[in-house]
Structure 1
Amino acid sequence: MYKSFNVKTLGILEINYSKNVFPEQGKRSRQVELLIIYLILNRDKNITSRQLISYLWGDKEDQVTIGALRNLVYRARKDLKKLYAKEPCILSKGHSYFWNPAVKCQVDYEEIMELSERIMKGNDTDSQYRDCCWLADKFENPFLPELQDNEWIGQLNRKLIKNCFDALFQTIDKLENEGRFQEIVELTGHPHLAGIENELLFIKKMNAYYHLKETDRALKYYQELMNSYYLFYGIETAPQIKELYQKCLDERPQVQLDTISIEDFLESSDTLKGAFYCDFYVFKRIYRLNIADTRSSDHKRALVMLTLSGQSSEENAMSEESQRLKDIMMKNLRKSDIFSQYSTTQYFLIIEAPKTGGIETAIERIIRYFDREKTHPEISISKKIKEID
């Protein structure tokens, strides 16, 4: 009995039919995969050769011939025949190509889009909540992440994210209006949503904790957000999150700590390692405090400037190397060290050591790690060190 193709697009592309799988392990072709998934997602349309070339090759379409497209279609048909040999999956008519309507497909992208539409059109909060939980179950990976640099793949991924979050927040708003804050906590705490950086999601979850009077959980969650915002992104939390934090403090029982307890709490180690990263305006304030503090300290502190330079033929080379440098500093500087990014090519650091030579050693280590790990050899790093006095 014939059954449809199971097309997995959330994550790395995989098409299953019976016991057969496309693409075969170790035989991936970016252009073949783009062609096949485009025809599957547009299987109700005839696509002209020129349209296909535009979608598959983007701004390089002027360099691609009709013959190159024919060769690509031939390769795709050959690969699909190993998956399903009963009839051809890709058909042609004149100067256009289309997916064989007799070859049925179940596509996870289409299922999750249909589910989000159903949630947004729904009227029953219970059904919408259940569907949102199911939506979160399915929303495990982005749409074809390995092909995101292709324009139409990126557009579909953005549409997927927008639809899912529109459905999610519409349901959360209804749950809020009905006072069902425990369900909001459970929904926003879904493992597939936990790693998503969405400010409104953070606000909704913290607001739910506040209304449930779970102030300790709210304050712990706020601390996690602060660590994420400052240490990884160097920015402040949203004003609404700060307002909720203050509300939680106001609701907290009037219990006070003694000096020993607060010292133990402040000195206790957390799971975050490495230096403190902050935005440049926070860095300026910290620098001014360091000027005053250095005068009464035996340790040396220095302002360090690290600058990236060089030209690369790759468009995002400098951004990639800048992020690599940031990751290296985050892992290899000490917790007492502070750094900030001024621009794509420049970072400033405040480093402390018993002697000036120790500061030089720490910076040379960072540069050595960077030179070893960088993937664009034409980009180099230079340093300037000025003692704070």
Structure 2
Amino acid sequence: MTIWFTVALDLVGFGIVVPILGVYAKRYGASGYAVGWMFATFSLAQLVAAPLLGRLSDRIGRKPVIIISLLGTAVGSFVTGAAGALWVLFLGRAIDGASGASLSVAQAAVADMATPEQRPKLVGMLGAAFGIGFVFGPAIGGLAALGGPHVPFYVAAALATVNAVAAMIRLPETRVSHTPRTKGPKAPRLPIMRRLAIIGFLGTFAFTAFEATFSLFGSVRFSLTEGSSAGVFLGIGLVLVAVQGGGFGRLAAKVPAGRLYPMALVLVVIGLAVVGASKSWALLIIGLLVLSVGQGVASPSLTEMVNHAAPPERRGEAMGYQQSSYAVGRVLGPPLAGSAFDRIGVWSPMVAGAAVTAMALCLVLVWGMHRSATSVPPVHVNPDAA
């Protein structure tokens, strides 16, 4: 529960920032394309940092890496709030992104503690922390924005600082110090990890295209304000909490994660397509609901597939590598979505996201990852391998 609380509080800070960042950046003259690159900067830093932090946590432990990252998040949020120019805004997002790479370390910590039978439920609960971030983050951010456009970022910085202090006091160390580290191939060289990374990249590309442009989409098609956009993310968060905090654990106990994953991708495709086509509130709400349920099942399903495939002594590295694949999606998705928004139409990021998710679904089926009990075989590394 301590790890869950730490992650949830961290993601509340993230949720404070995401719904308002696009409109906030426009105060500094940012175009839709620039807003996309601002989201991408966060993820580019995460791309570089995630495997390094994961490997470091395998060596020195999960706790110190998480604490350092939380302090980095505090610095990044403060810099973003104090920005007096667009380039400072980019700097703040880069610092925050590198620090946010610690999520893979937290996922490894949960896997360290759980038995194979417990793991799907705990992975789902950790996924629910994302929903908590979307529930409370936008609400806090919307209230804080009443005090001025910079205030939400200062609130996020203060929250990260408190979280770091609490982690120093309460967070347990989960890495088993006596577990020998093998000399086998690194995570990126394992074929199954490469396939999981490709699928994860495509899914993340699609969802972050939606994330980065929805506030712009909503403002044009439905005249949504910053507060209204935050309300939409609040609704998404409530669905994620319900699905991942309760529903996923029960589903995964009956249906293997690898079979749940393609089903969830179908829902994501439908949800994104409906959102992009929506011109009425009823259709928009239906699309967002379907999308949220699909994403709520897809994310923990893929995490469980990675946990099963990774050698225990390289779990931090494997999760960091997978997190990097997500970061690539976040690097490319937002700027391309922003560019499509500017040049093609307000609907285009959602429809493109649906097409990319459909591509991920096809790969899952072609590679047969949905057929076996867990979809992916566990990796057994030969200690004598070069």
Same-fold call, TM cutoff 0.5: no
Comparing both structures, which one devotes a greater share of its residues to helix?
Answer: 2
**TM-score scaled by structure 2?**
0.24
Report which of the two structures shows the higher radius of gyration computed on alpha carbons. 1
Give the TM-score taking structure 1 as reference length.
Answer: 0.24
Identify the structure with bigger relative contact order (alpha carbons < 8 Å, sequence gap 6+). Answer: 2
Where is the strand percentage greater, Structure 1 or Structure 2?
Answer: 1
